[in-house]
Structure formats: C-alpha cells, structure tokens
A = this chain, B = another copy of it.
C-alpha cells in the first residue's frame, strides 16, 4: 500500500529521510570513522520502510563517499581525509612578479598564507588583460579557496566580470589589492592614491615650485586617483593648472611614452620646474629625460616618484617618493583572506594612508 496521502510529507521522500538521518549520525560523530552502521534490516524496522528504500539511501551515501559496504559484514563509515584539504590554495595575481614593488607584496602574502597552511598559486598579468582572463579561467578549474588580485588596467572596462561572478558563486573569496573593479563585490586593501598625489604636489608647492607637471598612467585607477590628488593640491594652493601640465600615458609602449612626454614638457618655453610622477619607474625615466636635456636635478628640475620602490634609491639620484606599504599590504591582504575563509566574511576594507619620504630629487641632500 502506498501511503503518500497518510502524512503531510509534502516534499521529502523516505529514502531522503534515511539518508539525512545517517548523515546526521556521521556528522555528529555518533558513528565515527570505520564504525559500523545499523544493518539494512535494522533500519528497515526503525524507519518502517522497505529494504529497497534503505538501499537507495545507502547507495547515494556510497557515491558521495561517506560510507562503504562489505558484503557479508556490514556497512561502515568511511574515513574522509580531514575536510578536503585540496581547497587550501589561494590564487594570487599581480601585474609583475619579479619587478618593482611586487616581490615585496608577494613576500608578505606568502608569509601569512604559508603560516596558515595555505599554498599560493601565483601569476602575473604584465599589464595584459588577456593574461588576466587566462589565469582567472585557470583557477576556476583548480578549486581554490580564495583569490588575491591586483586588477590590471583597472580604469578600463572589466571584461572579466562574468568570471568573477562565477568565482563568487562558487564561494571563492576575493581580495583586491591596489585597486578594485567596482562591479565585483569583494574585500580590498588599498593605498589612498589620491592623498599620495596630493602629498607629492604639496611638497613641491611648499618648496616654492609653481610650474609643476604631472605624468600619470591613464589606464588604471591608481593613476586617475593620483592625478586627482595632484589637481586637488594645485587648487588648494591656488595654483593655475595649465592643461598641458598634466599628461597621461597608457601601458602600451610603457618604456617609451613617459620619456617622450617629459621631453616635450621640458622643451616648452615655460618648462615645468618639477614633476610629479605616476611611479618610481616613470620618475627614473623623467630623470633621464631631464639629464638628456642638460638640466640638473634638483637644482633646475625637481622630481617626485611614487611607491618608494628599490628603484627610488638605486639610481644615481635618490628619489623623493610616496611610501607604498608593500610587504605590509601583502600581509594584510593575506590576513583578510584568512579571516574571510575562517569566518565566512565577504567585505573587509582597508586603506593605507600614505606618507612622503623626502630624498635628493627634490633638493634635500
């Protein structure tokens, strides 16, 4: 007799009930690894169902890998190696790996991750959005727990949004560093780039400079914000901003462009007496352009870099620069990741307040 009408079981089939019951027993450690489950017969009478029903429940539990059966002996709880460990990978993608501030950032990340038993799946985009796409697609296959990512050319449209959506849907935690994609909800660890740009400009203004040029990167958010801070400082100190004092470049032809821009600015009749640069790389290029023009630093032209990278103290002249927290930012991004994974959080935010370090390139020797 089929008693579907009898009780108010709107949804759950009987074998599902049995299955859930057994899963509870396993979950609550009432039946531990290797211990025997009740026999099919026992469960038949306990639940007052047919043997087939029990068998269907067991069958599904078997293919889930929770139990195994031995003919003639019984059915047993299976040893599952501690909470699938293969998820203990955090993917990390940055613009570069071996250059500039990135070894430090990665060092900070690795330190925290490996301390927590996680491994780091690392790649770099080299400012190429296709490489970003490729890596993001890769990690979808790889069952990672989290992703720490520095968006590539973040001021452009985020072509990878669908991939981020899928990652989020899969429960992969995401932490942005240096910049964010606005259309992706995630945690972030940022530097206050706007304030950095402001500090750089303000420093030069206070030194008495009035014709200050800015060279910024156009295709990422950091560039836009540093530019914005630069403009804010000019306004606050009531300095006019001639339109041609601010120039921008994109990452195609990265090494050529800022040099040409600097050269052009320097050949104007009212040439700038100071440069605020997007980063130390650009600053080094500007330094070269100034020297190639036969001008001295800092006497004729002052230069401020950004990021306080090794490059700012490597060259023949030590660069005044805005301090980027590098290792500390890496550590914090990784700590955020751990916290998100442990406590199922999704929206942690931190913004570092930058400071300026003053060196030879703005006149302090």
**In the complex, which of the residues B99, B106, B117 contacts A97, with contact meaning CB atoms closer than 8 Å?**
B106
Cα(A116)–Cα(B116), bound, Å: 30
Interface: A346 (CB within 8 A) = no
0/1 interface trace, chain A 273-304, chain B, CB 8 Å (1 if under): 00000000000000000000000000000000
Interface: A59 (CB within 8 A) = yes
**Taking the nearest CB of chain B, how far is it from the CB of A52, in angstroms?**
8
Asked if A103 contacts B97 (CB within 8 A), the reply is yes
Interface: A135 (CB within 8 A) = yes
Asked if A119 contacts B103 (CB within 8 A), the reply is no
A120-B121, A122-B122, A142-B119 known; A107 vs B114 contact (CB < 8 Å): no
B-side contacts of A81, CB under 8 Å:
141
Please give the count of copies of this chain that the complex contains.
2
Interface: A5 (CB within 8 A) = no
Among A134-152, those with CB < 8 Å from B are 134-135, 138-139, 141-143
Interface: A344 (CB within 8 A) = no
Cα(A142)–Cα(B106), bound, Å: 21
Asked if A85 contacts B119 (CB within 8 A), the reply is no
A119-B142, A123-B119 known; A98 vs B89 contact (CB < 8 Å): no
Asked if B97 contacts A114 (CB within 8 A), the reply is no
Interface: A36 (CB within 8 A) = no
Given A88-B141, A117-B134, A120-B123, 16 further pairs, Cβ under 8 A: A63-B63, A86-B143, A89-B121, A91-B119, A97-B110, A98-B103, A98-B104, A98-B107, A110-B124, A114-B123, A114-B131, A114-B134, A119-B122, A119-B123, A119-B135, A314-B314
